[in-house]
């Protein structure tokens, strides 16, 4: 009987996400070591197993067959004589280049060991490896760790490794102060410095962390490819945004990255506050062809004090990234992975309605775990959109301002917010209508909102902490009117029960 009860109550705590990944208990930050191997997607994550705030870092571990339903596994890597286990990546060593797998294939994790230089307080961050011969269930730390150190660099962390076919080498991108250093290797064990990128490029508002570098076709054309470099930027107390992630597009020859844009160009992957340290899955099968990433759905500004009790933090939905050519150059677009569609239930569909002030088409609907796809045609200079997780004194607004061509999420009155003065706010981005239309693809999951505007050209990811009972929704227009071409609403099932 207890078992049944426990099952029913599993993942039902206040604010607990129902279809996003969160640890069963305790603190989580960056996603780590994401790799697909023999039918399983692995997700490791920065984990403090003994508390709900940041502490001695381990790699937590979960696996999934579809990136939707996750199975929690025991801790993958724990601190040792070289220190804590900071962020990093994992790859399949298909041809046993490392010599660790007796000629077979296996998994190699490449991560940062973090401690301090002997008899000082100066941080020491060095790159190490571990390997697994049993599909990531157990890990052996390499006896010769660390495999890469640079004594003159203090912030030196978060190695992301991939195989570069053209040069027949492994490439490591690793954050180094406010640049990205690149190294190459033939065996994942000895690393040779290749180049350094970024000294005067992009945003330098904080320490650089968690890089990722991968190639994508432009406009889905396999003959036209470009490289994308993700760089997360740590919290700068002088700015309101907290921690966030920028990206560059350019060329990469196996050793050196060349930025396509002018050095002062800054491109953000997300215009909300809660998408950090995102990196992509390694070894997704060639036939699948997707580049899939996931981010940590929080912000260092307030991550340690968000109002959850049993656990702290969730990941974003896994997202597919693509490059699209625009007048300004190639730009990243993001879409939720299509596998999430299997959670859809309770479909409501509305077509061709002129929305006027003072009415609410969604009057009868209640949910805080759902998805909406909507297409609007702009017919007057107004503001329109959705109010979600709505109660007497609470609402989160996902809106569009026609005059400024701006899409926004306002969590000014979204619920609990006093835990940090930087939490409340309205987060916006330019979204230019196409043929006078805009689309909004929205995911709400108890304590988060993800908005994909115009097929993922703009994304806003924000945490919210509304009261449990506030599940009403409204489709609003401020003045004038707007035409709703189509609206599809789905409740989404829990993946945890
Ligand atoms: C990014 C980060 C990484 C580091 C890890 C420590 O959020 O600061 O640079 O490896 O978190 O938990």
| Ligand 1 atom at shortest distance from the alpha carbon of 54 | 12
- Residue 1, pLDDT score: 47
CATH architecture of 347-492: Sandwich (2.60)
CATH architecture of 28-336: 5 Propeller (2.115)
pLDDT digits (tens, 9 = 90+) for 105-124: 999 999 999 999 999 999 99
Burial label, 290 (beta-carbon count in 10 A; 0-12, 13-18, 19+): middle
Q: Tell me if 298 CB under 6 Å of ligand 1.
A: no
Written as tens digits, the pLDDT of the chain (497 aa) is: 468 878 889 999 999 999 999 999 999 999 999 999 999 999 999 999 999 999 999 999 999 999 999 999 999 999 999 999 999 999 999 999 999 999 999 999 999 999 999 999 999 999 999 999 999 999 999 999 999 999 999 999 999 999 999 999 999 999 999 999 999 999 999 999 999 999 999 999 999 999 999 999 999 999 999 999 999 999 999 999 999 999 999 999 999 999 999 999 999 999 999 999 999 999 999 999 999 999 999 999 999 999 999 999 999 999 999 999 999 999 999 999 999 999 999 999 999 999 999 999 999 999 999 999 999 999 999 999 999 999 999 999 999 999 999 999 999 999 999 999 999 999 999 999 999 999 999 999 999 999 999 999 999 999 999 999 999 999 999 999 999 999 999 999 999 99
Count of Cβ atoms closer than 10 Å to residue 222 Cβ: 8
- Residue 6, pLDDT score: 83
Q: Tell me if 46 CB under 6 Å of ligand 1.
A: yes
CA distances from 488 to 195, 351, 365, 461 (A): 48, 9, 13, 20
Q: Tell me if 213 CB under 6 Å of ligand 1.
A: no
Instruction: Compute the distance from residue 476 Cα to the ligand 1 centre, in Å.
Output: 40
Instruction: Compute the distance from residue 380 Cα to the ligand 1 centre, in Å.
Output: 46
Ligand 1 pocket mutation pick from 157, 279, 316 by most atoms within 8 angstroms of CB: 157
- Residue 488, pLDDT score: 98
Q: Tell me if 125 CB under 6 Å of ligand 1.
A: no
Q: Active-site residue 481, yes or no?
A: no
DSSP-derived letter for residue 306 is -
Q: Tell me if 157 CB under 6 Å of ligand 1.
A: yes
Give the phi and the psi of residue 339 in degrees, each rounded to 5: -55, -25
- Residue 123, pLDDT score: 97
Ligand 1 pocket mutation pick from 33, 86, 114, 206 by most atoms within 8 angstroms of CB: 86
Instruction: Compute the distance from residue 318 Cα to the ligand 1 centre, in Å.
Output: 20
Pinpoint the residues of the chain covered by CATH 2.60.120.560: 347-492
Grouping H, G, I as helix, E, B as strand and the rest as coil, residue 5 is: helix
- Residue 2, pLDDT score: 65
| Ligand 1 atom at shortest distance from the alpha carbon of 276 | 7
Instruction: Compute the distance from residue 84 Cα to the ligand 1 centre, in Å.
Output: 11
**Listed residue (399, 411, 390) closest to 453, CA to CA:** 399
Ligand 1 pocket mutation pick from 26, 31, 33, 46 by most atoms within 8 angstroms of CB: 46
| 241-273 burial code (b ≥16 CB/10 A, e <16) | bbbbbbbbbbebeebebebebeeebebbbbbbb
Closest Cα to atom 9 of ligand 1: 209
Q: Contact 459/453 with Cβ under 8 angstroms? A: yes
Pinpoint the residues of the chain covered by CATH 2.115.10.20: 28-336
Q: Tell me if 86 CB under 6 Å of ligand 1.
A: yes
| Ligand 1 atom at shortest distance from the alpha carbon of 46 | 12
Q: Tell me if 30 CB under 6 Å of ligand 1.
A: yes
Instruction: Compute the distance from residue 87 Cα to the ligand 1 centre, in Å.
Output: 6
Q: Tell me if 112 CB under 6 Å of ligand 1.
A: yes
| Ligand 1 atom at shortest distance from the alpha carbon of 87 | 10
Q: Tell me if 29 CB under 6 Å of ligand 1.
A: yes
Helix (H) or strand (E) holding 7: helix 2-9
């Amino acid at each position: 009987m207890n078992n049944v009860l426990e099952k029913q109550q599993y993942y039902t705590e206040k604010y607990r996400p129902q279809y996003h990944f969160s640890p069963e208990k305790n603190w989580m930050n960056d996603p780590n070591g994401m790799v697909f191997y023999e039918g399983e997607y692995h997700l490791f994550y920065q984990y403090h197993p003994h508390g709900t705030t940041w502490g001695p870092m381990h790699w937590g571990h979960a696996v999934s067959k579809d990136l939707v339903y996750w199975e929690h596994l025991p801790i993958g890597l724990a601190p040792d004589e070289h220190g804590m286990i900071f962020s990093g990546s994992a790859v399949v060593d298909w041809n046993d280049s490392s010599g660790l797998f007796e000629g077979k294939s296996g998994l190699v994790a490449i991560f940062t060991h973090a401690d301090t230089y002997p008899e000082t307080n100066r941080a020491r961050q060095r790159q190490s490896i571990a390997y697994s011969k049993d599909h990531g269930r157990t890990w052996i730390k390499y006896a010769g760790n660390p495999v890469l150190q640079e004594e003159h660099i203090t912030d030196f962390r978060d190695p992301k490794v991939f195989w570069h076919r053209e040069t027949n080498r492994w490439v490591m991108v690793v954050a180094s102060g406010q640049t990205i250093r690149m190294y190459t290797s033939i065996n994942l064990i000895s690393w040779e410095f290749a180049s350094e990128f970024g000294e005067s490029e992009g945003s330098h508002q904080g320490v650089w962390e968690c890089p990722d570098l991968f190639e994508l076709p432009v406009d889905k054309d396999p003959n036209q490819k470009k490289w994308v470099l993700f760089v997360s930027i740590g919290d700068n107390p002088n700015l309101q945004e907290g921690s966030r992630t920028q990206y560059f597009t350019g060329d990469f020859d196996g050793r050196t990255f060349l930025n396509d844009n002018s050095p002062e160009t800054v491109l953000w992957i997300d215009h909300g506050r809660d998408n950090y340290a995102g990196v992509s899955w390694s070894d997704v099968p060639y036939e699948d062809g997707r580049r899939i990433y996931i981010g940590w759905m929080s912000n260092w500004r307030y991550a340690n004090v968000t109002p959850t009790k049993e656990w702290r933090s969730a990941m974003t939905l896994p997202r597919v990234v693509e490059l699209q050519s625009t007048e300004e150059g190639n730009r990243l677009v993001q879409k939720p992975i299509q596998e999430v569609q299997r959670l859809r239930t309770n479909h409501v569909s509305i077509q061709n309605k002129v929305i006027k002030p003072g009415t609410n088409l969604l009057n009868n609907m209640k949910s805080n775990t759902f998805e909406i796809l909507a297409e609007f045609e702009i017919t007057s200079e107004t503001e329109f959109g959705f109010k979600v997780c709505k109660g007497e004194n609470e609402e989160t607004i996902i809106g569009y301002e026609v005059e400024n061509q701006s899409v926004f999420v306002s969590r000014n009155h979204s619920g609990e917010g006093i835990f940090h003065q930087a939490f409340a706010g309205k987060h916006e981005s330019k979204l230019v209508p196409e043929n006078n239309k805009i689309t909004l693809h929205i995911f709400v999951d108890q304590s988060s909102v993800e908005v994909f505007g115009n097929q993922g050209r703009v994304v806003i990811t924000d945490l919210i902490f509304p009261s449990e009972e506030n599940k009403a929704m409204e489709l609003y227009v401020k003045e004038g009117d707007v035409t709703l071409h189509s609206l599809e609403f789905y409740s989404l099932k829990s993946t945890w029960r």
